[in-house]
């Protein structure tokens, strides 16, 4: 087939091209389901819920659960044969509303109370989607990112419960759905210091028999980093522990984070080409490791919706453009 856009119906389907390799996923918000419907049905056989399962959205108040957006996404994914990935149960950042950390009298929650709340939350959410959500990002981003000697990010979970909050979360999720695959999800673990810290934690989990089946390498990429060598090292390091590897939040910004020159330079043909080359290289590595790769999931589907864009800042990180048409990067992923 010629490398040109013949419209959504005649171009190759990514999920078919990758059938013998791994599922191709997209992180989706309920507001985009209709607009992306044809694109999703044609190219994607896995879905992560971008925000609808996060604690503040699904469980904003103590006795207040709001399942509707997640239910709709789960129904859509199920009716189109997409494997569903649950993101995420415990996360210090945008993952936990303030009330969770405080007792009824306004004092800081005790270890027992916070554990009890975590367990209730995990049992309720995982229990509701049991048999539908195949795998969960049980804990997100718990490792300290800066090189300050600390192993764990210093937040309320760590302060109130201690580092075993991570293990407890996996145990609670396993209790709620013994058949679900459980993942630890993290960013920038291609880089050696953070990779080492993460490895130390996961080795301990393995030795202690904590129920964990995989690791999500988020993969928010730029045109230059991480190197392919770093990516390979990360895949091999975690696969050696017997963990499945989920490329869990792939996007490839053509401008690095905080680079505002995008505002006047825009998306040039040169950048489109460099993005295509880099996407081609990344997928070549993913294909090489297909035996251990659980799936490759983009953190979105098309350039018109990405968490990387703020206001008028644009990053154009995906294979499909604002009109859902394939970009040069699509072809280097779909044809090899």
Which residues are at the interface with ligand XIL (CB under 6 A)?
50-51, 94, 140, 218, 249, 307
Residue with smaller CB distance to ligand XIL, 21 or 191: 191
* Annotated catalytic residue, options 50, 141, 186, 190: 141
* Residue 104 bears catalytic tag: no
DSSP of 246-275, one letter per residue? EEEEEEEESS-TT-TTHHHH-S-HHHHHHH
32 burial type by CB count under 10 A (0-12 exposed, 13-18 middle, 19+ buried): buried
Grouping H, G, I as helix, E, B as strand and the rest as coil, residue 245 is strand
* Residue 249 bears catalytic tag: yes
Least distance to ligand XIL, CB of residue 140, Å: 5
By beta carbon distance, the residue nearest ligand XIL is: 307
Least distance to ligand XIL, CB of residue 89, Å: 12
Residue with smaller CB distance to ligand XIL, 157 or 331: 157
Phi, psi of 307, rounded to the nearest 5 degrees: -65, -15
What's the token pair of residue 98? 């303030």
Q: Residue-wise over 37-59: b if at least 16 C-beta within 10 A, else e?
A: eebbbebbbbbbbbbbbbbbbbb
Least distance to ligand XIL, CB of residue 190, Å: 15
* Annotated catalytic residue, options 186, 190, 221, 249: 249
Least distance to ligand XIL, CB of residue 55, Å: 11
Residue with smaller CB distance to ligand XIL, 16 or 322: 322
End-to-end CA separation in angstroms for the chain: 12
Residue with smaller CB distance to ligand XIL, 11 or 25: 25
- Cα separation, 247 vs 262, whole angstroms: 26
Active site residues: 141, 249
């Amino acid at each position: 087939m010629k490398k040109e856009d013949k419209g959504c119906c005649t171009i190759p389907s990514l999920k078919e091209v990758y059938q013998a390799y791994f599922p191709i996923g997209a992180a989706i918000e309920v507001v985009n389901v209709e607009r992306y419907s044809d694109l999703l049905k044609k190219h994607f056989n896995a879905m992560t819920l971008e925000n609808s399962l996060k604690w503040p959205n699904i469980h904003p108040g103590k006795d207040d659960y709001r399942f509707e957006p997640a239910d709709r996404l789960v129904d859509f994914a199920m009716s189109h044969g997409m494997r569903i990935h649950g993101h995420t149960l415990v996360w210090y950042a945008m993952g936990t509303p303030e009330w969770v950390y405080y007792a009824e009298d306004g004092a800081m929650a005790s270890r027992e109370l916070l554990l009890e709340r975590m367990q209730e939350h995990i049992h309720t959410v995982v229990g509701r989607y049991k048999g539908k959500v195949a795998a969960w990002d049980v804990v997100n981003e718990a490792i300290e990112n800066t090189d300050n000697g600390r192993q764990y990010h210093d937040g309320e979970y760590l302060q109130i419960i201690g580092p075993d909050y991570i293990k407890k979360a996996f145990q609670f999720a396993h209790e709620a759905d013994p058949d679900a695959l459980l993942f630890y999800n993290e960013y920038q673990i291609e880089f050696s210091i953070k990779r080492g810290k993460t490895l130390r934690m996961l080795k301990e989990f393995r030795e202690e028999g904590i129920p964990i089946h995989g690791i999500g390498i988020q993969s928010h990429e730029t045109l230059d980093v991480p190197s392919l060598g770093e990516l390979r090292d990360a895949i091999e390091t975690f696969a050696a522990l017997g963990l499945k590897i989920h490329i869990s939040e792939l996007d490839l910004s053509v401008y690095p984070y905080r680079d505002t020159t995008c505002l006047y330079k825009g998306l040039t043909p040169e950048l489109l080409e460099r993005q295509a080359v880099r996407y081609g290289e990344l997928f070549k590595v993913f294909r090489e490791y297909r035996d251990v790769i659980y799936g490759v999931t983009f953190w979105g589907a098309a350039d018109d919706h990405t968490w990387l864009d703020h206001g008028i800042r644009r990053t154009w990180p995906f294979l499909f453009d604002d009109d859902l048409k394939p970009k040069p990067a699509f072809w280097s992923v779909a044809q090899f």
